[in-house]
Structure 1
Amino acid sequence: MFTKQLKKEVEPIIESIYNDPFIQGIIHGNLKKEAVKHYLKADSLYLNEFAKIYSLLIPKLDDRKGIQFLLGQIDFVMNGEVDAHYTLADYAGIDYKAVIEEGEWYPSSDHYIKHMYYNACRYSDASFTICAMAPCPYVYQQLALKIAERNDLEGNPLKPWVDFYCTNMDELIGHLDRWVDEFSETASDEELNILRKNFVESCIHEKRFFNMSYNIETWEGY
């Protein structure tokens, strides 16, 4: 399967993210509070746009089940994934609603979301955009599974964050994989290369997003 090849290729990137300071802070329960705040300010805006990009894919689909699935994902992104955000906010001792009102686009998050929007606007088939979006849930799932497998999280205040991504991504990832694999069966070599490029680049964007949060990246630093 094409998506299996993609996942094998990006495994070193995910392992690298695992060893980066943001995820290590989650593992040890000592993530910097300012890094959490920076992450939430960026990710709240990112998730809003992520949901909007799902809506852009609906006109590209003909099947009712696919449309229903996307509508369900829009609801999950807007209402379900905030549970993980609340875990981080509680850990940092900050008011989540107040923080997201101060949401900002920093260089790395800005670049990432524009990467997705470009594909949504450039290509008629949803698979190109999906390959740019799929690494978001996939990377989080794989990081959470690695954390849970390799570490004793008993007493870790960030354990609910890990548990959330261990258990809530399977259906979404499976659906996205089937979408891309089906398209890849008749795709040209040029199209396959674009799909691959989108997936790999988004995994790199995920790494940069976490580092952006930990390093308190702003536009003033450039």
Structure 2
Amino acid sequence: MFIESVKKEAEVIIEQIYQDDFIQGVIRGDIDKEAIRHYLQADSRYLNEFAKIYALLIPKLNDDEDVRFLLEQIDFVMNGEVSAHYTMADYVGEAYQDIIKNGAWYPSSDHYIKHMYYNAYHYSDASFTICAMAPCPYVYQQLALKITERHDLTGNPLKDWVDFYTKNMDELMHHLDRWVDDFAQRATDEEKEILRKNFLESCVHERNFFQMSVDQEKWSFEGEQYV
């Protein structure tokens, strides 16, 4: 299937993310709390926009069941996934709402979300946007599976964060993969190349998103930093 071939290409990027400082810090259970705080401030805003992009896809779908599933995913992104964030907030030792109240758009997260919005507004078929969005749950799922396969996280304060993504992504990925594969069967070679690039580019965006939190990335103009 088309999406499986793209996922195979993405594996090298996901392994790089696994080896990078953020995930290795999660595995050790000693990641810098400032990195987690930065991550939560950025991801709270990212997920809010992610839900809005789901909403933009609804008019592009014709099947009622697919529409219902998207509505469920909007609720999950807004309300369900926050439980993983609470695990990280507990690690930091602060209330989640206190951490995210100063949330900001940082350069890497800004670039990532605009990549998805571009596809949502530029293409009539939902598959182009889905290929830009799907790496978000897919990368998290694959990282969590790698961690649990390679490490015993007993006693790790971030174990619940990892467990969340091993347990909650399968149904979503099944739907996203099906939508893309159905479209790929009638897509031109040029369209399939756009789908492929959208997916792989978003995998790179995922890597940058984690790294920006380690680096405490902020906007800088003429020597001054802005958030």
Same fold (TM > 0.5): yes
* Count of paired positions: 222
Shift of 1:220: 2.1
Which SS does the other structure have where 2:187 is aligned? coil
Distance 1:181 1:4 in 2: 9
Q: For 1:76, give the aligned amino acid.
A: F
Q: Deviations over 1:110-134 (max 9, x none)?
A: 0000000000000000000000000
Distance 1:184 1:71 in 2: 24
Which shifted more, 99-108 or 45-54? 99-108
| 1:10 corresponds to 2:10 | yes
Distance 1:127 1:197 in 2: 12
Which SS does the other structure have where 2:220 is aligned? helix
Structure 1 segment 121-140 matched on structure 2, within 5 A:
121-140=121-140
Structure 1 segment 33-44 matched on structure 2, within 5 A:
33-44=33-44
With the length of structure 2 as denominator, give the TM-score of the two structures.
0.97
Q: For 2:217, give the aligned amino acid.
A: E
Structure 1 segment 47-86 matched on structure 2, within 5 A:
47-86=47-86
Distance 2:190 2:33 in 1: 44
Q: Any unmatched runs of 5+ in structure 1?
A: none
Distance 1:220 1:102 in 2: 17
Distance 1:66 1:78 in 2: 18
Distance 2:94 2:10 in 1: 34
Distance 1:194 1:102 in 2: 36
Q: For 2:220, give the aligned amino acid.
A: E
Q: Any unmatched runs of 5+ in structure 2?
A: none
Q: Percent identity?
A: 70
Q: Deviations over 1:47-101 (max 9, x none)?
A: 0000000000001111101100100000000000000000000001112101111
Q: For 2:200, give the aligned amino acid.
A: V
Which SS does the other structure have where 2:154 is aligned? coil
Distance 2:150 2:141 in 1: 14
Distance 1:166 1:214 in 2: 23
Q: For 2:26, give the aligned amino acid.
A: I
Structure 1 segment 1-222 matched on structure 2, within 5 A:
1-220=1-220
Off by >4 Å, runs of 4+ in structure 1: none
With the length of structure 1 as denominator, give the TM-score of the two structures.
0.99
